[in-house]
Structure 1
Amino acid sequence: MADALAMARVAVDNGISHILVTPHHMDGKYTNHKADVIQRTAEFQAALDEAKIDLVVFPGQEVHITGDLMQAIKNDDVLFADETNRYLMLELPHSEVPEYTNQMIFELQAAGITPVIVHPERNHGIQKKPELLYDFVASGCLTQITASSYLGVFGSEVEDFTQRIIDAGLGFVFASDAHNLKGRNFRMQKAFAKLEQHNGAEMVTWMQDNAKKIINGDDLEPSEYHYVKEKKKFGLFR
């Protein structure tokens, strides 16, 4: 709990007032059942209040795509980003985009659920075929970009790809994706400062508003988007 409270203080110092807590679920390594996440989030909120840390936490999950997902939803073992069960934080495997992804997205949307695809910039399949991300958004999905990716923590290639995703209008919200106090900490202020420098203050406001609307289960404002542009190539000969 001491480490969690220390991270909470860093979050507040980064200008963060609300956090959607999203432990991994059903990814083959971690299973964090809905009831357990709700209980532990309530315990953490109580500890925050006792420590007088001005931070509100909401229970959530980062749900791995799996053939068992729809059954888990029916079994009431899945948490959404909002209380109306509209927005689902959906994680793809890092190595690829599974062949059944479009079918799963269709089934989720048929159930009134909007998938929010998390950290697409680090998915190897999307890196190789960025048009997949365009197709997901065109079908009604949203995306959540990791602030650390945008700031180069995962390397310059991921940083560049993240910027191109944002430039294409295919990045809807930032996530801290904070795991600890060292390597993967809160970097939201730096990410928004860079975003304002590269894409303007309106983009910052739009992404911040999107985050609030997802948490509240509201509609997002329509926006323009296009295919991710290819990386610029430099050479001695043209």
Structure 2
Amino acid sequence: MATIVIDIHNHILPGIDDGPQTEDEAIELVKNAAAVGITHIIATPHHRNGKFNNNTSNIQYLVNKLNQQLSSQGIPVTILEGMEIQLYENLLNELTDSLLPLAGSKKYMLIELPKNHIPHFTAPIFFEMQLRGYIPIIAHPERNSIIRSDPGQLFELVNRGALVQVNASSITGANGRAKRKFALKLCKNHLVHFIASDAHHYKKRPFLLQSAYARLQRKMSPDFVEYVKQNAQHVLSGTEFHSLPPIHPK
């Protein structure tokens, strides 16, 4: 039985954000994923980030079209729907009509925070999302300057039920030594539940998921790598899981 390897955050769909601009570029990016053993890609185009707005029906159309192209070319990767949603104040009003959970899970939603602050409405929105049966996954918090200076704020969100995804490129050091060190610190404090590629381009920002897993196996443990892999499978199946108890970063 083939091993399932899932990437829960990337920009694979052509022409709708800052990922591939053509279908050919999207196919090349999927080939890059296949070459490193990824079998399932949850497409997460940007939404409500001040530059890109994407409606659910167009994302679903592009996912189906890309899957048809992959099948016809014999590329053994399955694309699933999702969004990377920039946190905004009226998110709850559009939760069920305009926003896509990851992989049709009706549960997990990938939420991006601004780079330079944590909005005052973050915790209340996350709390209400959870009351409605959704689980927010914070995308690449290592890119947020406030969290880097005070990771205790991330701990508080995780302690209240939010989950965290760190970029593979931060683990490998492709984003610099400082982010690599910080990302590893978050892992050691059990503040990371998923590693994902955030891939955009088959040359400039490729799928580094397996390289990140290899580094984490050396710096953390094989058990931790298996933990984040299994968590991604829970997203794919729409099931809940018990996360490691978060440790407050001193």
Please confirm whether the aligned pair reaches a TM-score higher than 0.5, indicating the same fold.
yes
> 1:14 Cα deviation (Å)?
0.8
Quote the sequence identity (%): 30
CA distance in 2 between partners of 1:84 and 1:191 (Å): 25
Question: C-alpha deviations, 1:13-52, integer Å up to 9, x for none?
Answer: 1110000000000111100111110001101111111111
Moved >4 Å (runs of 4+)? none
Question: C-alpha deviations, 1:106-126, integer Å up to 9, x for none?
Answer: 221121111000101111111
CA distance in 2 between partners of 1:211 and 1:59 (Å): 14
> 1:222 Cα deviation (Å)?
3.5
CA distance in 1 between partners of 2:25 and 2:189 (Å): 37
CA distance in 2 between partners of 1:169 and 1:56 (Å): 29
Identify the residue that residue 47 of structure 1 maps to in structure 2.
69
CA distance in 1 between partners of 2:93 and 2:55 (Å): 14
Identify the residue that residue 105 of structure 1 maps to in structure 2.
126
Normalised to the residue count of structure 2, the TM-score between the two structures is 0.88
**Unmatched runs of 5 consecutive residues or more in structure 1:** 230-238
- Residue from 7, 16, 33 that aligns with 2:38: 16
CA distance in 2 between partners of 1:33 and 1:10 (Å): 27
CA distance in 1 between partners of 2:131 and 2:66 (Å): 35
Question: C-alpha deviations, 1:137-176, integer Å up to 9, x for none?
Answer: 1000101110001111221111110000001011001111
Give runs of aligned pairs for residues 1-238 of structure 1, distance below 5 A. Answer: 1-74=23-96, 76-229=97-250
> Across the two proteins, how many residue pairs are aligned to each other?
228
**Bigger RCO of structures 1 and 2 (CA < 8 A, at least 6 apart):** 2
8 Å contact from structure 1 (residues 35, 77) kept in 2: no
- Amino acid in structure 1 at the alignment position of 2:160: S
Taking a change above 3 Å as real, the CA distance of residues 86 and 148 of structure 1, as seen in their structure-2 partners, is same
- Amino acid in structure 2 at the alignment position of 1:79: L
Quote the RMSD (CA, aligned, Å).
1.1
Say which one has the larger Rg: 1
> 1:73 Cα deviation (Å)?
1.5
CA distance in 2 between partners of 1:196 and 1:121 (Å): 20
- Amino acid in structure 1 at the alignment position of 2:198: D
